[in-house]
Chain A
Amino acid sequence: MAGPIIRASGLSKTYRISEKQPGLAGTIQHLLRRRHRDVLAVDGISFTIEPGEIVGFLGPNGAGKTTTLKMLTGLIHPSGGELEVAGHEPFRRQARFLRQITLVMGNRQQLIWDLPALDSLRVNAAVYGIEEAEARRRIAELAEMLELGPELQRPLRKLSLGQRMKAELLAALLHRPSVLFLDEPTLGLDVNAQARVRDFLADYNRRTGATVLLTSHYMGDITALCPRVLLIHQGQLFHDGSLADLTQRLAPCRQVRLELSDLQPTEAFACFGVIEAHQGHQVRLLVPRAQLTERVAVLLERFAVVDLEVSDPPIEELIGGLFRQRGEASVTGGVP
């Protein structure tokens, strides 16, 4: 298919919610004369994603990420705008479209809880019209990539969270979708399991050329997998580009750490930038990017520097800081 595999233009979603005041009076009023309010969850966002891209979808709780994912998969109807995924209008949910996509939700499972995953996989293979021999081959291949074996024959409820998540991924990918929507796929997993799921996703993308749109609670997932991120806030697209560009946009300064051989007064560093910390021989400064080279050169010339490190502030802090400024507490995922 030529051109973008996902195309969203002016996409919006408004929910109508009823409001209830606390207490008996509020309850009676809610019963007799219900008040409704329109909530604009997604406010005219536009973006395109090319085939084979892995894109991270970031935003604070309630930013509109999950609502956007639901529209992209066709689970809910957009209130406005245009949307095309793999050549289809998702909300029509045509079989040809559904065969090309998958949605993995870290907090929800599609596998049958009381049966071994293999039973559910057999149903999935039949539903997607995969021949039995081919289904066995794909299960074996994916199970090897995911390091799953006898676990597939145990009831799902007997598996650990990490094993269940891997089994869910296997089920979601059995029909070889070309577009993967992953909503918090590493939610609740330990560090090792998170790393294995990330490796698997990167490997799957390399092998199949599938497009991946990923939301995650963990910035580690985004930094490891996504060369490009979409940052959404209050239903609007705040950033579409690389993480490095986002860092540059959010952090006009870079962090310079110095270790000195002798003690210096704090005022000595005031002309170089914002002094974040100064303790003994250790100094941490924020220096404007434009003057970085020049000022570091002066620092090296003027002081007896034992060690020097220039870095960007952690991306979580930058995004968190941005949303705190705008009245939000966190940058992590969540259902609106």
Chain B
Amino acid sequence: MSWAWRVARALLGSQYALMLEYRAEIALWALSGVLPLIMLGVWSGSGAGVAAGLTPQQISHYFLAAFVVRQFTVVWLIHVFEEDALQGRLSPLLLQPLAPLWRYLAAHFSEQATRVPFVLLMLVVVGLAAPGVLWWPSPAELLLGLLAIQAAFLLRFVLQVIVTTLCFWSERAAALDRLLLIPYLFLSGLVAPLDTFPPAVRRLALATPFPWMVDFPARLLAGEPVNVALGFGAIAAWCLLLWPISRVLWRAGLRRYSAMGA
């Protein structure tokens, strides 16, 4: 068994056990991710979707898919990292021959796994509340959609690693992450499908990493026509661009690290 596989198995196992300890908290986090369901209600009730050229079914499928995407692309790295750095818990992690980021990544995957039953339960509740609104994607759509969700999650993770490295310079770098929330909300497709944007805004949005984090995987899951190669290619390109930046910042940050609290 390779070293990497053993480490991955051990990390995922321990982090999943840890997340199960926090299952009630994770259930509340899942509940708090209902913005797409609220937007579904807003769009369905106002008739704006039809005015934008989308059928009611397209609207409901899109926002339900966006709800699922949102649930499994949540990244909270900066909040735990900031706390670990301030409380001195980062130091022991830095003294092990494994980059701390792998532990945080494993924690995110484990949190996603813990979230699954809560998300399924919420979908059942939606199905009971609005019969006929749920649908079964084709196996190909489901497979590609799930892959796209994980790719979108990795892109969000890498983007947040960059902001997280600012914790080495500022004790409250998590506040900077909130600055990214606005473009993320409006350019990702979380509050409106990208197809409904004015062409110029849509072009602008597509030049950022945000639409690939929600709109692309949601449209795949919803069975909308999507350029799959372009979507995965864009995510890969953004990751390849952002990852080296995060590495440079990480190394520079470590030089500034004063191991406070430890």
Determine which of B3, B14, B95 lies in contact with A101 in the assembled complex, contact meaning CB atoms within 8 Å: B95
Query: For window 93-131 of chain A, which residues contact chain B by CB distance below 8 Å?
Result: 93, 95, 98-99, 101-103, 105, 107-110, 112, 114-115, 119-120, 122-129
With A75-B95, A126-B6, A127-B7 known as contacts, the answer to whether A119 contacts B14 (CB < 8 A) is: yes
Number of inter-chain CB pairs below 8 Å: 81
Q: Encode A319-331 as 1/0 by CB contact (under 8 A) with B.
A: 0000000000000
Give the shortest distance, in Å, between B240 (CB) and chain A (any CB): 25
Minimum CB distance partner of B258 in chain A:
A76
Inter-chain contact B94/A93, CB cutoff 8 Å: yes
Determine which of A102, A122, A129 lies in contact with B95 in the assembled complex, contact meaning CB atoms within 8 Å: A102
Inter-chain contact B14/A120, CB cutoff 8 Å: yes
Inter-chain contact B97/A70, CB cutoff 8 Å: no
B-side contacts of A122, CB under 8 Å? 10, 13-14
Query: For window 74-99 of chain A, which residues contact chain B by CB distance below 8 Å?
Result: 74-77, 93, 95, 98-99
Which of the 9-residue segments B85-93, B116-124, B136-144 touches chain A?
A: B85-93
Determine which of B88, B97, B257 lies in contact with A76 in the assembled complex, contact meaning CB atoms within 8 Å: B257
Measured CA separation A105–B261 after assembly (Å): 11
User: In this assembly, does A215 line the interface, its C-beta being within 8 Å of a C-beta of chain B?
Assistant: no
Q: Encode B2-31 as 1/0 by CB contact (under 8 A) with A.
A: 010011011101100110011000000000
Give the shortest distance, in Å, between B165 (CB) and chain A (any CB): 16
Measured CA separation A15–B259 after assembly (Å): 12
User: In this assembly, does A211 line the interface, its C-beta being within 8 Å of a C-beta of chain B?
Assistant: no
Inter-chain contact A75/B259, CB cutoff 8 Å: yes
Measured CA separation A264–B115 after assembly (Å): 85
Chain B residues with a Cβ under 8 A of chain A? 3, 6-7, 9-11, 13-14, 17-18, 21-22, 88-89, 91-98, 254-255, 257-259, 261-262
Which 7 A-B pairs rank lowest in CB-CB distance, beginning with the nearest? Answer: A110-B92, A95-B97, A126-B10, A75-B259, A98-B97, A126-B6, A119-B14
4 more A-B residue pairs beyond the given contacts A75-B94, A103-B92, A108-B88, with a C-beta to C-beta distance below 8 A: A98-B96, A109-B92, A110-B93, A335-B261
